Amino acid sequence: MLLNGGPLNGAPLNGAIASSAEAEPEYIVAGISYLWSLRVVVGGVDMSAQLTGGADVDREEGAAGVAGFQLYLPAGPVVPSEWVGRTVTIDYISTKEGVTTEARRFTGRIAGPPQWDSNNRILSCECSDQLQQRVEALSVAEIDALTCGLWSLDVFDPVEGRSRWDYAQERMSTRTASLDCSPTGELRVTSWYATAPHFVFGYNTTIDESLSVEWPDLSRLVNTVAIESDYRYMRLRQQNEAYSWIGGGFCDWYFSNSKELPTTEMVREAVASAGANLMDNFSWDLLWPTMPDPCGLGVPWENSFVGEELLLGASFTIARRWAQSVTERYALSVQVPTSIAVAGEVIERIGSAFEVESVAAETWADTPFTDGFSSHTDERDDARRALFLQVQLLQAVATVVQAHRGTVLNWQVPTSMVMGIDLVHTILFEDQGARAIGKVVRVADDFGEALPTTTISIKVMRGGGDVTDPLTPPASVDEEQPPPIPTPTNLPTQLGGRVDAPEYDDELPGFAGNYTTTEPSAEMYPRRFDIDAAEIPVEQRDELIVPIDGVYRVAIPNDLLEL
């Protein structure tokens, strides 16, 4: 068994926690006479002598234990409300063959205003072990240590300002175990899985005809949990494009082919018009400065265009940045294949979603930049994603395991025979025509008759299978990086001012201008410099949905069950 923690879901999903050296079970023996009594202490005062009408105690897996009793109060004033909150302990005392044994059956407080029968002076008290209230009083760290379950802020609401009991239940939802109180009042966590039997009920050890069996309903036999969850983050993209424009050599331009030239400012304006940034690796081939004989022909050159930064050629790279929303859409299925094969699929759906906040994405497209390569960077939080999915996978496992322990055996036995049985124990039952092994889920004492009896309930886990897959979340899907350095695009030139010039093309990128010496009636072209930046593909611009599937098989123990 697992008490007060232990490793998270430390038992194999298809088995129980077994000790390295299993102790021999205790065999219940019938046919022995007992003397018995109760000790009821209220507010530190032993009130056993005032007990009338017996008492009852009911403790169930994962729930608060309750008790009830009636006290005869002697003459004097009685204020029932003053009894609320008083501590209560109930001990069962049994004597067999001169040996007296005591067992604590309940520890708690009077929960509500007792009912007062003034005619008979009987005070009827209802008590609780205050499981919820005691957990509510714990710190978050204490709950974490007690439950040992996983928890994610992306699956549940923030802890601050919320019920600590709800928080504990959220952590327990990731465990195949229950949180309750021991008879002596300690908070504890116990596994749902049966272990080697602690107690054995053989033939004729239970009250005749007291056995009843509860069978699971098909609608509750969940054997598939479909997890539909979204994980959203921003993909920061940069796309670079390289361009080259060649206007010809200086000497050709000066002597043979004089024409208008673009300026560096025209190139910068073209880059800005494309919604891009100019990278700092540009190269300008500027018009030469004043020289006495630049071409070796004895002809001087005087640059009268100083300050315009006219270009004979240029090589430059532009880049654009934008942020794309990426949603990893998980469709995970936790299944019990053997159960599906027998009963068909009974599906329960869970899901959640979260988004990784990115400060960088808010300014990525608008912040000027002059470096970097074609690439993309994902603003992920892998640890957060893994926890987000692990919590849901563990919840799904707990759901299918709980659904396959719906067979409940109940029987009654004299209390003196079962004083040591608690909710943490596993029982082998072999009586009244039935054989079964199961973990105890309820112990209910009735001390109202001459023979005190205890009703014991066990849950039998049935499902089958021998394969349980590790609950490892699937990996994110990475997009291949683009080539970091693009192939340059050569920009053309179109010149007007001559009758044999082609018709002006307004859509042609590159430089447009005119020859320095023009011919009458020739079309004059506007002087401009344009670039056509590639259109960003829609699949890189709009929200990208990335489907990710996964199937996880769970094996369920087949505990002994024969009727």
Count of all residues that appear for the chain in the document: 563
- In our burial notation (b when 16+ CB lie closer than 10 A, e otherwise), range 527-559 reads eebbbebeeeeeeeeeeeeeebebebbbbbbeb
User: Per residue of the chain (563 residues), what is the pLDDT tens digit?
Assistant: 223 333 333 344 433 434 445 689 999 998 778 999 999 999 999 999 999 988 999 999 999 999 999 999 999 999 999 999 999 999 999 999 889 999 999 999 999 899 999 999 999 999 999 999 999 999 999 999 999 999 999 999 999 999 999 999 999 999 999 999 999 999 999 999 999 999 999 999 999 999 999 999 999 999 999 999 999 999 999 999 999 999 989 999 988 889 999 999 999 999 999 999 999 999 999 999 999 999 999 999 999 888 899 999 999 999 999 999 999 999 999 999 999 999 999 999 999 999 999 999 999 999 999 999 999 999 999 999 999 999 999 999 999 999 999 999 999 999 999 999 999 999 999 999 999 999 999 999 999 878 999 999 999 999 999 999 999 999 999 999 998 888 999 999 999 999 999 999 999 999 999 999 999 999 999 999 999 999 999 999 999 999 999 999 999 999 999 99
Show the DSSP H helices in 221-345 as ranges.
250-251, 264-273, 337-343
Q: 535-545: per-residue pLDDT in tens?
A: 999 999 999 99
Euclidean distance between CA atoms 455 and 553, whole angstroms:
36
Q: 57-111: per-residue pLDDT in tens?
A: 999 999 999 999 999 999 999 999 999 999 999 999 999 988 999 999 999 999 9
pTM: 0.87
| Structural domains of the chain, ranges and CATH numbers in brackets | 26-205+406-460 (2.30.300.10)
Distance between start and end Cα atoms, the chain: 26
Cα 470 to Cα 9, 394, 479, 553: the distances in Å are 12, 11, 26, 9
Q: Where are the beta strands (DSSP E) in 393-449?
A: 407-414, 426-431, 434-446
- In our burial notation (b when 16+ CB lie closer than 10 A, e otherwise), range 47-85 reads bbebbeebbbbbbbbbbbbbbbbbbeeeeeeeeeeebee
Angle of CA points 189, 174, 470, to nearest 5°? 115
> Tokens in use for 546?
């990335």
DSSP reduced 3-state for 397 = helix
